[in-house]
Amino acid sequence: MNIILCNGRRADAADLVALAMRNHGHFTTMQVRDRAVRGLDLHLARLRAATRELFDVSLDDTHVLSGLRQALDMVAAGDCTARVTVCARDFERAALASQPLAARDLDVIVALTPPCDPSPEPMRAASFTHERALPHIKHVGTFAQFHLARQARGRGYDDVLFVGVDGRISEGTVWNVGFWDGQGVIWPDAPALRGTCERLLQAGLETLGVAQAKRAIRLADLSGFRAAFACNSRGVRAIGAVDETAFAADDGLMALLGRALQARPPQPL
């Protein structure tokens, strides 16, 4: 199962070359199960907000939803990983001519690949000092993230946890991070992308009556936590270690996070 649509039609070579060369846009990735997505409204809100900020254009939800439905119909599948990318056609030309973009200038690209679930193995993350540009936007400028992840894997780690120049822990390469102190979940207070899974967890934990707090967390603080976890569109994965700080396995926490994530039912496409 691999299909890419551009504005409702199969993407051709010209579409893909333009996307590869443009490197200016944003996206969201979601897990589709039985043609439904948990937090679909959050994904759509993310796409609308980023389109407005990057291109000063309104994005119609129906443009996105129709592309997703069409792609699912074409592959005749209800379960998949769906990525929706929004970029602007002839962005450079419009910028040079000082012309505003319009909705017709947007390309909405829908790519479907096989479904993915989080690894059951705890992650080992290496810390790197790095701050993403426009961290609140899930943009396509991902070179530094994956370059640092490759360096971490060369040192025997699975992925990277970013630390700002001020020493505050922020986020992983493509995931948010949370810490468990035995009583509640502590979320890092630092510039980062606020992921849909993170927001679903926060809402679910609130429904379950689990304490939560947001505060600045530094590497020196990690030994004071009992457990840590990563969360993204695939779900929740335990973190076994950050650098030399190890966290014990906590099946109870993972079960709690699973219940929190499922507190909100999936929304049909």
**Domain range list for the chain:** 3-113, 123-268
Superfamily of domain 123-268: D-amino Acid Aminotransferase, subunit A, domain 2 (3.20.10.10)
CA distance 36 to 82: 11
Spatial neighbors of 76 by CB under 8 A, at least 6 apart, are: none
Residues 80, 73: Cα–Cα separation, whole Å? 12
3-class DSSP state for residue 150? helix
DSSP track, 165-194: TTS-EEEESS-EEEEE-SSEEEEE-SS---
Q: What is the pLDDT of residue 90?
A: 66
Fold type of domain 3-113: D-amino Acid Aminotransferase; Chain A, domain 1 (3.30.470)
| Two structure tokens written together for 151 | 């360096």
pLDDT in tens, 174-230: 999 999 999 999 999 999 999 999 999 999 999 999 999 999 999 999 999 999 999
d(CA 176, CA 182): 19
The per-residue pLDDT of the chain, averaged, comes to 94
> CA distances (Å), 229 to each of 108, 118, 129, 172, 244, in order?
32, 11, 19, 11, 16
Kindly give the confidence (pLDDT) of every residue in the chain, 269 residues in length, as a single tens digit, with 9 standing for 90 and above: 789 999 999 998 888 876 777 778 999 999 999 999 999 999 999 999 999 999 999 999 999 999 999 999 999 989 999 999 999 876 666 555 567 888 888 999 999 999 999 999 999 999 999 999 999 999 999 999 999 999 999 999 999 999 999 999 999 999 999 999 999 999 999 999 999 999 999 999 999 999 999 999 999 999 999 999 999 999 999 999 999 999 999 999 999 999 999 999 999 99
pTM of the model: 0.94
- Strand-strand pairing, 106-113 and 80-88: antiparallel
Integer CA distances (angstroms), 105 to 45, 59, 77, 88, 213, in order: 20, 11, 30, 6, 42
pLDDT for the residue 98 = 63
CA atoms of 115 and 209, how far apart (whole Å): 31
